[in-house]
Chains A and B, each alone.
Chain A
């Protein structure tokens, strides 16, 4: 693929992923991208380009790439957003355990504060190396052990890479929880907290409202992607440590900058966790280098018990 085409693809994502083309949702610009130009021109509208300049494009050249902007329900939620392959990159050098991603996720998904779909661990690569903070969402594996074991197909893999849970189908057997090598899943031991969100119409894409006796986990917020927004955790991270985007368009964003996924992974030695298990996660990590702060600073955001447990875990490495 030529450089020009690559950059056009990235541009497409920009408008959708980073939410710059507000209200347009997931779109692509015909003529700019790979699709043939539209003959019959109509109203012009302004679109913000990645370099910050405004470009005027034909309204008709904008076509919806992502289908509906509404969260998919029922059997539709089993199909991925067309053309997408979501990917997340977490820069371990930037995370200082601010724990805002956790809060953002909990708020967005109407979770109790005791339930964390995103967890942040204190980790160490070996006994010699410096500890670092390690945010852990669901990895949305391409070969997901949880999906294989589900007896009723309540958890499934979509074409856009998301591994979702349909709580209307889940029987709560917890087999997927024991099968997940990353312990990414949590059980709804109690009913979800009462709030305005709780009255939403359920969609596996929003994961709201949850149901007691079923399983929940990070869903990669495909409902937000449909609206051209980044997942809650990405938007909430004050350090810009989490990048989210589309592998097909080779563009990921942390909300402030948009970069090429491939370049980032290749230039900065991106890796996945427990690669040897053959699960093919969709979440990549950049090594914890060039940190502007010591890991101790992050300890202040933990409760006494959390701190004790985190330090105790360090001794396991």
Chain B
């Protein structure tokens, strides 16, 4: 096969992936590894001692774990969807974000299912899901959906890397870097040589994957929403749950990409590829999603509040009562419905850093929002709990659950750090492609950075 050699000078800008790691990078990696080590120990501890060491009890049967599960899964599906959307529409400015989105989508869909495993009392019987699975159960729907999505995510991520791996292979051939890395690039490039036929095949494979991933993500996350919606419980048994979950997911997806690209841009000096405009455009996206979010929250609240059933009204009281969930509930709404609108809506307040900060707060608010979707509902039973044990009446997460939550974050960060060493986080090859989709290709916003 004739192999065309491609000019690799562009990689000089991304030399962080071909040069040895810096001390700062190493220190952070070690810290993260230590956290993950503690997390692993805690994981095993829970396996040995059982769920009794968590805050979960007979009424609140799931707590922080399932919140994290929904949260990470939402991020994953959203990032996958946004990336595929950018790919299919060929929006020029979106191209530099695609790889970051795919990386986030991939690692979060790996982390999320671990949290659902932590909710299962007998992990040793996990294989029963395969041997005795009942398709009527929403859990099986979820298992099928997640397995499918992990595969799709992996395939899509890999496809999007192939060209860059091929370029790195050619570029590093003459460089003085470790042999194993050269070999790795050679293997991962799958013999891609930038031939017309290869190009065509790869591009159509990616188009097909992208077109599949968007609807499957929507279905998969709706299935998760229905896992709750199928329960005859006030607060869950609602037809708005599916759409609301999807909206919240996309909302968190936009916020997380703003956060991650802020870090990458600063640390890896990517100003040329991640411009201020990226922050403004996504900031507008966040603003629009905030309004939708507010609409859903309001619609849900007013329906439950106006003419209300007794158990539902007890639930609403809990959410509004400051001695119970009031601070969390109102705080999360303050961030999403007030702060976000003010900071992004008012031009004088809108800067790259303020958008970043708001996104961090939005991520926090959305976690709380998920928590409030789960825990107060489980505490509000049709027949009031008469068990007097405080830990049964009110869920109180233990240190075990918090450690494992932080571990999830550490894994997330570690992965994103390691991947910067493998290949550029900007899809170099994709950027060079001419936009074929004129409608969006020529579409440009006012430059806000000036």
Contact = CB atoms under 8 A, between A and B. Distances in A.
Grouping DSSP codes into helix (H, G, I), strand (E, B) and loop, the A interface class, with mixed when no group exceeds half, is: loop
A175 B385 contact: no
Contacts of B230: 148-149, 179
Interface residues of B, number: 44
A95 interface: no
B59 to A, nearest CB: 7
A214 B133 contact: no
B388 A306 contact: yes
Given A186-B58, A189-B51, A189-B52, A171 B382 contact: no
Interface of B: 50-52, 56-59, 61-62, 119-122, 125-126, 128-129, 132-134, 136-140, 143, 227, 230-233, 310, 314, 378, 381-389, 393
Interface in A133-175: 136, 145, 148-154, 169-175
Contacts of A187: 51, 57-58, 61, 121
A296 interface: no
B121 A121 contact: no
Interface of A: 114, 119-123, 136, 145, 148-154, 169-175, 177-179, 181-183, 185-190, 211-215, 273-274, 277, 279, 303, 305-306, 308-310, 313, 316
B121 A178 contact: no
A72 to B, nearest CB: 19
Contacts of B233: 178, 181
A27 to B, nearest CB: 36
User: Closest 4 A-B residue pairs measured CB to CB?
Assistant: A172-B121, A213-B121, A305-B388, A151-B139
29 contacts: A152-B132, A153-B132, A169-B128, A171-B120, A171-B121, A171-B126, A171-B129, A175-B138, A178-B233, A178-B378, A181-B233, A183-B58, A186-B58, A187-B58, A189-B52, A212-B121, A213-B122, A214-B122, A306-B388, A308-B388, A309-B385, A309-B386, A309-B387, A309-B388, A309-B393, A313-B385, A313-B386, A316-B314, A316-B384
A171 B231 contact: no
A178 B386 contact: no
A151 B140 CA distance: 6
B231 A178 contact: yes
Contacts of A179: 230-232
A132 to B, nearest CB: 13
A151 B137 contact: yes
A172 B134 contact: no
A1 B19 CA distance: 91
Given A172-B121, A187-B58, A309-B393, 20 more contacts: A119-B386, A121-B384, A145-B231, A148-B136, A148-B137, A149-B137, A152-B129, A154-B132, A171-B125, A175-B138, A175-B227, A178-B233, A181-B232, A183-B382, A187-B51, A189-B52, A189-B57, A213-B121, A306-B388, A309-B387
B324 to A, nearest CB: 14
A182 B50 contact: no
B134 A151 contact: yes
Contacts of B378: 178
A169 B378 CA distance: 25
A32 B172 CA distance: 95
Given A152-B134, A174-B121, A175-B139, A182 B382 contact: yes
Contacts of A154: 132
Nearest to A278: B232
A188 B384 CA distance: 21
A123 B50 CA distance: 34
A303 B232 CA distance: 32
B386 A310 contact: yes
Contact of B122 (A171, A273, A303): A171
A214 B121 CA distance: 6
B122 A151 contact: no
Contacts of B125: 152, 169-172
A178 B128 CA distance: 20
Contact of B139 (A120, A121, A173, A189): A173
Contacts of B58: 177, 183, 185-187
B306 to A, nearest CB: 20
A178 B383 contact: no
Nearest to B143: A151
Given A177-B58, A181-B232, A277-B232, A149 B139 contact: yes
